[in-house]
Chain A
Amino acid sequence: MTDLNGRPDRPAGAPANTPTSNPVLKRALVWGGILAAVILVVGGLVGFLVAGVPGLVSALIGTAIAVVFMAVTAGSILLANRFADSDLFVGAFFGIVLGGWIVKFVVFIVLVVLLRGVDWLEPVVLFLALVAGVLGSLVVDVVVMLRSRVPYVDAKLPKAPSED
């Protein structure tokens, strides 16, 4: 493999073998955040109109849970890619990604159990906001992936205008 140190499109300090997926995942996180803001506003408004203040709070919590937990996958891949130069990269990568996944679900189940019996929440609004958040972040992920440009090989390419 050619020496990739000193590539101008790579931030200083990043591992030389950083996989080419990083820009796509970062963009997905940014757009996921924008989508979260939109769903928070719309869902909060609808929840407030349907069920008052409990509906508003439920919509906010449901959307936040969905978007944050869906973003953990991309975040864990980005974190794992920081170890790209390590000899243990493959093991560390899947350990971090799958470890993050299982921790996320344990936390999610605990949250669901804790929030179930609370009387200041509206369960149906919370559920619908969560589904809206999950489906919305799936749409964002697919759109970002389809519009992304990931090179087949890890070589230096001219930068696309959309890439930073």
Chain B
Amino acid sequence: MDATTVLAEINGNIATVGYGLAAIGPAIGVGIVVGKTIEGVARQPELAGRLQVLMWIGIAFTEALAFIGIATYFIFV
């Protein structure tokens, strides 16, 4: 039994790791988008409407990656 088998054996489908990554990346992205929006609204509350639209576009782009990443479950066997 060689060292790779003993120390780093992985059972099951390695694509599972990809689903985890598909969740982490967009989570960080949405966190930054929303955090920056809170910051902007706190500085200039009267801009809330404009900032909401920008936040919505930012979230839409970020979550698109999450949807596609998680949906690869359908094609990766």
- Chain A contacts to B: CB under 8 angstroms: 1, 19-22, 24-25, 28, 66, 69-70, 73-74, 77, 81, 90, 94, 97-98, 101, 105, 108-109, 112-113, 115-116, 123-124, 126-127, 130-131, 134-135, 137-138, 141-142, 145, 148, 150-154
Contacts and interface: CB of A to CB of B under 8 A. Distances in A.
Interface residues of B, number: 30
Contacts, number: 102
A94 B53 contact: no
A-B pairs, 9 with minimum CB distance: A20-B49, A19-B49, A123-B74, A21-B52, A21-B49, A127-B74, A19-B48, A21-B53, A134-B64
Given A105-B23, A123-B75, A152-B47, A138 B61 contact: yes
A113 B23 CA distance: 15
Contacts of B63: 70, 73, 101, 105
Contacts of A70: 60, 63-64, 67
A141 B57 contact: yes
B30 A69 contact: no
Contact of A24 (B47, B53, B64): B53
Interface string B44-67: 001111101100110111011011
Contacts of A142: 57
30 contacts: A19-B52, A20-B49, A20-B50, A21-B48, A21-B56, A28-B56, A69-B67, A70-B60, A73-B60, A81-B52, A101-B63, A105-B63, A109-B70, A112-B73, A113-B73, A123-B74, A124-B74, A127-B72, A127-B74, A127-B75, A130-B74, A131-B68, A135-B64, A138-B61, A145-B53, A150-B49, A150-B53, A152-B47, A154-B46, A154-B49
A73 B71 contact: no
A55 to B, nearest CB: 13
Given A124-B74, A126-B74, A127-B71, A94 B38 contact: yes
A45 B25 CA distance: 34
A113 B73 CA distance: 8
A42 to B, nearest CB: 19
